[in-house]
């Protein structure tokens, strides 16, 4: 089963429902639909992920590798390849190009599979029971992340939660969230799916 399938199955499972304290209800005028949903896109490889690369009828070029902290792997004959921040399809195409000096282009059938998802990490900080950094094999929503952190403390203002995210343009953004909108299902779309590197701040 592919990494994307495993993640999708995990998210499709039961949503963690926790009784969380919520602050005063206030409407947040924010279009959550514009946020990137990683479930709808090909998985993006990151450090510590495990990869299996197969080159058809060329066992000497096939390999298994763990992505190093600098985002690279080493492939036989090819050398170091930068794979972090790329999809398996992008890595596959780069490998096909790189091995043409060893394999005829028409015979360069390459598959790249993510066999271990270890780079999906996020942070929950502020007024929660167990703040810290968390890692998951599956995509996690705001509600699930808060549950993993033990839920908001009794001092938390859950009407003013922020998801701090580095956008695809490289700029830091803040996504405002009133947890009451999620808990009462007034705005289920506010329960956005986290992307790797997100930080949830509970004031």
Tens-digit pLDDT profile for residues 119-166:
999 999 999 999 999 999 999 999 999 999 999 999 999 999 999 999
Residues 156 and 64 in one domain: no
What's the whole-model pTM score?
0.79
Mean pLDDT of the chain: 88
- Res 21 pLDDT > 90: no
Give me 153's structure tokens. 């403390």
Residue 90: CA count within 13 A, CB half-sphere: 11
With a cut of 90, say whether residue 108 has pLDDT above it. Answer: no
How far, rounded to the nearest angstrom, does the alpha carbon of residue 43 sit from its chain's CA centroid?
A: 8
pLDDT tens by residue, 50-100: 999 999 888 889 999 999 999 999 999 899 999 999 999 999 999 999 988
Whether residues 95 and 126 fall in one domain? no
Residue 27 is part of which domain span? 13-40+120-202
Burial of 3 (C-beta count, 10 Å sphere; 0-12/13-18/19+):
buried
Q: How many domains does the chain have?
A: 2
Q: Average the pLDDT over 33-49 and give the result.
A: 95
* pLDDT score for 1: 59
pLDDT at 4: 55
> How far, in Å, CA of 82 to CA of 91, rounded?
8
Residues 20 and 75 in one domain: no
**Range in 65-69, 99-103, 195-199 the model is least confident about:** 99-103
Residue where a domain terminates, one of 101, 116, 131: 116
Specify whether 105 is located in the same domain as 169: no
CATH number of the domain encompassing residue 82: 3.30.1950.10
pLDDT of residue 16: 39
Sequence-distant (≥ 6) Cβ neighbours of residue 133 within 8 angstroms: 121, 122, 123
Where does the pLDDT of residue 192 fall: very low under 50, low under 70, confident under 90, or very high at 90 and above?
Answer: very high
Q: Per-residue pLDDT for 6 more than 90?
A: no
What residue spans of the chain are helical by DSSP H?
3-12, 88-98, 142-148, 179-183
Instruction: Sheet containing 161-166: give its strands across.
Output: 132-135, 121-126, 199-202, 161-166, 172-177
Q: Residue 119: which of 41, 197, 27 has the closest Cα?
A: 197
**Which residues make beta-bridge pairs with 18?**
none
Give a yes or no: residue 108 inside a domain. Answer: yes
> Which of 95, 116, 137 delimits the end of a domain?
116
CA separation for the pair 193, 79 (Å, rounded)? 36
134 and 110, same structural domain? no
């Amino acid at each position: 089963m592919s990494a994307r399938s495993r993640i999708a199955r995990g998210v499709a499972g039961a949503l963690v429902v926790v009784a969380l304290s919520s602050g005063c209800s206030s409407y947040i005028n924010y279009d959550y639909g514009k946020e990137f949903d990683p479930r709808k896109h090909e998985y993006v490889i990151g450090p510590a992920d495990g990869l299996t690369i197969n080159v058809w009828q060329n066992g000497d070029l096939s390999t298994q590798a763990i992505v190093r902290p600098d985002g690279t792997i080493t492939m036989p004959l090819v050398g170091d390849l930068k794979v972090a921040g790329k999809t398996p399809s992008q890595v596959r195409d780069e490998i096909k190009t790189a091995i043409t000096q060893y394999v005829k282009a028409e015979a360069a059938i390459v598959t790249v599979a993510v066999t271990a998802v270890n780079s999906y990490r996020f942070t929950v900080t502020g007024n929660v029971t167990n703040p810290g950094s968390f890692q998951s094999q599956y995509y996690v929503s705001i509600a699930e992340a808060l549950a993993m952190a033990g839920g908001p403390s009794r001092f938390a203002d859950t009407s003013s939660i922020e998801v701090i995210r580095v956008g695809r343009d490289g700029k830091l953004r803040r996504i405002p969230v009133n947890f009451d909108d999620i808990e009462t299902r007034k705005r289920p779309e506010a329960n956005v799916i986290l992307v790797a590197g997100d930080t949830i701040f509970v004031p």
